[in-house]
Amino acid sequence: MEPWIKKYSPKTLEEVIGHEKEKEKLKQLVEQPKKPIFLYGGTGNGKTSSVYALANDLGLELVEVNASDTRNASSIQGLLGGAINQGSLFGAGKLILIDEVEGLSGTKDRGGIPAVVKLIEKSKFPVVIIGVDAYDQKLKELKKRSELIHFKQISYEELLPLLKKICVQEKIGADEDALRHIARSSGGDVRAAINDLQVSAYDSIINMDSVAWVGERNVTIKMENALRLVFKTKNPSIALRAYDDVDEDIEKIFLWVEENLPREYTKPVDLAEGFENLSLANVFFGRIRKWQYYRFYVYCYALLSAGIALSKEEKYSSSIDYRPTTRLLRIWMANIKNAKRKGVAQKIAAVTHMSSYRAYHDAVPFIAALSRRENVADCFDFNSEEIRWLKELR
Ligand SMILES: Nc1ncnc2c1ncn2[C@@H]1O[C@H](COP(=O)(O)OP(=O)(O)O)[C@@H](O)[C@H]1O
Ligand SMILES: [Mg+2]
């Protein structure tokens, strides 16, 4: 299944929603470059895709380096040095993009940003640098020497029509309220909103029930911050406070750590040590559940925070988006699927006087086959969503 953020990624600058003035300015500065362009703003609001779309509009060859992948100035110099001076392979113009520039500002590489600034000042081609926060001290030099463009938060009014358009193209029915809920919960992150829409669209009709979980984004942000603290520090007292803001069940914390630990700790020794601590935490958790030894929570949290933090020999400088456990998502999807089937089975059971267990296992497939030929809605009092679900059941 193709991710919708890819499928609906804007192909031309015009398709990028919002940022009307800023898009105009970007285009103008790329067409008549004077200084490097520093484009900044919150995640998922269209910075990277705007630059791609613009290159496409203007027929420019896009040369991209992602600073998070390279992390030091000399490798950026290596990657860009040639491109900045030589003409394009096919005679077309070029557009140079340095994305996620914050990835460069690690302490190991103090000279990083100024060196990059020096390099790009010599460029014959327009250069766009993308970052999140223009007021980051480390980016001072860059800010001084470039044209700033700020992509502000996409409003909920701007986002809603895009969600509607996607539903139309995907032939999915959607309640206005449900789409509003997704748009509102996104906090201006278009990428997040489209992802949420795609998961909700599992239901083929999107209503408030299908999007109830979406408001959990806040929880997600808090959890991501907590994990960042734990994974990125070697200081136990910082780590120990990491989960203070997270008001989630400890089970969820386990799942989050389990999911993201192997993505962060890539050295086998660190990973082994990390899982050792995770499993110890689990042992204590088992004892809490079995014997209600609630004071063991202290050990659980200590192992999940300081224990995990100290499992690494040294910090990883990678920048990873920590993600919620996919296991939970799968369980949730299975539950939704089951809930539909259960609801349908109960209605069949009520009319036919069979047990709902038998209806669930034996009658549902039969009624589903029947529903493709006969109108069964009235007999069993199915609503349109249930009918649709039945017809699609194979
Ligand atoms: N303003 C926007 N208009 C249309 N689609 C957008 C917009 N912002 C984000 N998206 C969607 O989200 C995806 C990620 O956006 P991206 O440009 O990578 O965000 P950023 O670089 O600002 O973090 C895009 O592929 C696109 O599908
Ligand atoms: Mg980006």
d(CA 300, CA 321): 24
pLDDT in tens, 248-305: 778 889 989 999 999 999 999 999 999 999 999 999 999 988 888 888 999 999 999 9
DSSP 321: -
Mean pLDDT value of segment 144-150: 93
Give nearest CA residue, ligand 1 atom 17: 46
pTM (two decimals): 0.62
* Distance from Cα 46 to the centre of ligand 1, integer Å: 3
What are the E-state strand segments in the chain?
Answer: 37-40, 61-66, 94-99, 127-131, 147-150, 173-174, 205-206
Provide the percentage of residues in the chain whose pLDDT is more than 70.
90
Contact 209, 271 (CB under 8 A): no
pLDDT for 385 equals 85
Q: Return the ligand 1 atom nearest residue 5 CA.
A: 27
More confident residue, 271 or 318: 271
Residue 242 phi/psi, 5-degree rounding, is: -60, -40
Site to substitute for ligand 1 among 150, 165, 191, most atoms within 8 A of C-beta: 191
- pLDDT classification of 141: cutoffs 50, 70, 90: confident
Mean pLDDT value of segment 310-320: 89
Ligand 1 contact, 43 CB (< 6 A): yes
In the chain, % helix, strand, coil (3-state, to 5) comes to 65, 5, 30
pLDDT for 293 equals 85
* Distance from Cα 17 to the centre of ligand 1, integer Å: 9
More confident residue, 326 or 90: 326
* 151 burial via Cβ count (<10 Å: 0-12, 13-18, 19+): buried
pLDDT for 120 equals 84
Does residue 216 sit in helix, strand or coil? helix
pLDDT in tens, 338-374: 888 889 999 999 999 988 888 998 899 999 999 988 8
Q: At which residue do the structure tokens 């327009």 appear? A: 126
| Residues pairing with 66 in the sheet | 99
Query: Kindly report the CA angle at 263 between 318 and 325, in degrees rounded to 5?
Result: 130
- CB atoms closer than 10 angstroms to residue 85: 11
Q: Ligand nearest 191 Cα, by number? A: 1
User: What sign has the CA pseudo-torsion 213, 17, 134, 85?
Assistant: positive
Give nearest CA residue, ligand 1 atom 8: 46
Q: What are the Cα distances from residue 96, in Å, to 291, 316, 335?
A: 62, 28, 47
* Distance from Cα 215 to the centre of ligand 2, integer Å: 23
d(CA 180, CA 163): 9
Q: Return the ligand 1 atom nearest residue 50 CA.
A: 17
* Distance from Cα 361 to the centre of ligand 2, integer Å: 47
Q: Return the ligand 1 atom nearest residue 49 CA.
A: 17
CA torsion, ordered 96, 101, 105, 106, to nearest 10 deg: -100
pLDDT of residue 108 exceeding 60, the answer is: no
